[in-house]
Chain A
């Protein structure tokens, strides 16, 4: 049992490395796009693509793990402490919501991704509100929800196309 687990881990490790690097590249692209809603540190959430794909092809645990690694690394590379905090808020909320919607088995990949994009921005907003001790910034919520839903839809369509094509990577 333990040996099997070890073998599986060793087999998975290179793939995880590639996935974290891929997520980092997306984070970098994201850091280049000026997406400013008046709140410092807000991000678009392109990396939700990796989370969605892993949710379908691998496991929820792996999806969360790789995203958290990505956030810490990206935070040190292209961001700051606030960035990490915002990202954690966004990532955790969107992960929980996507996982819930995914587990119902009632919805398509696109919808899961839209939920992810939307709640990602709400999560960031909640953290921003706590950090800045200001509830008025919730007035950004409508614009952020819309932006998140649109990003989520684009990523969802992309993930729908990619998931069947990437399945071979995860068959062990």
Chain B
């Protein structure tokens, strides 16, 4: 080597090291965001927020309206679905599983909406500039 290789010399090593660090840091940011990107579901009843629940945590959420359980939302394996509903059409149960941001399940008769929202804003700006 001693700085005289035909492929890389001293200047190149300096520049390429900086680039390597940049790539390394961007991977770090990516992994960091994936870990903190605790996507959340937001349940609203009649347009008002009923509650927010982390998708990471498996749970059964009864949606109670007037002291009566109208719907049961289940979170399993990072996905949410409507497990039970008192509505006559059961369309909400057939809407399946949601996991990606801004996907939603709507139970029109009970006026229950489940939407996937971001737990935290992803730090996209720090990487693009």
Contact = CB atoms under 8 A, between A and B. Distances in A.
Interface string A68-109: 000000000000000000000000000000000100001111
B23 A149 contact: yes
A136 interface: yes
A34 B29 CA distance: 27
A131 B19 CA distance: 27
A106 B124 contact: no
A146 B23 contact: yes
Task: State the main secondary structure of chain B at its contact with A.
Answer: helix
A145 B11 contact: no
A162 interface: no
Contact of A142 (B6, B7, B23): B23
Interface stretch (A35-43, A54-62, A110-118): A110-118
Given A114-B16, A138-B128, A145 B26 contact: yes
B110 interface: no
B19 A114 contact: yes
- Number of chain B interface residues as a range: 20 to 34
Given A135-B124, A139-B33, A141-B127, A108 B23 contact: no
A141 B27 CA distance: 9
Contact of B7 (A106, A115, A149, A156): A156
B124 A118 contact: no
B129 to A, nearest CB: 11
B8 interface: yes
Interface residues of A, number: 22
Given A118-B19, A139-B30, A139-B33, A110 B12 contact: yes
A157 B19 CA distance: 18
A110 B12 CA distance: 9
B35 interface: no
A21 interface: no
A160 interface: yes
B117 to A, nearest CB: 14
Contacts of A135: 124, 128
A118 B127 CA distance: 15
Interface string A136-172: 1011011001100100000011001000000000000
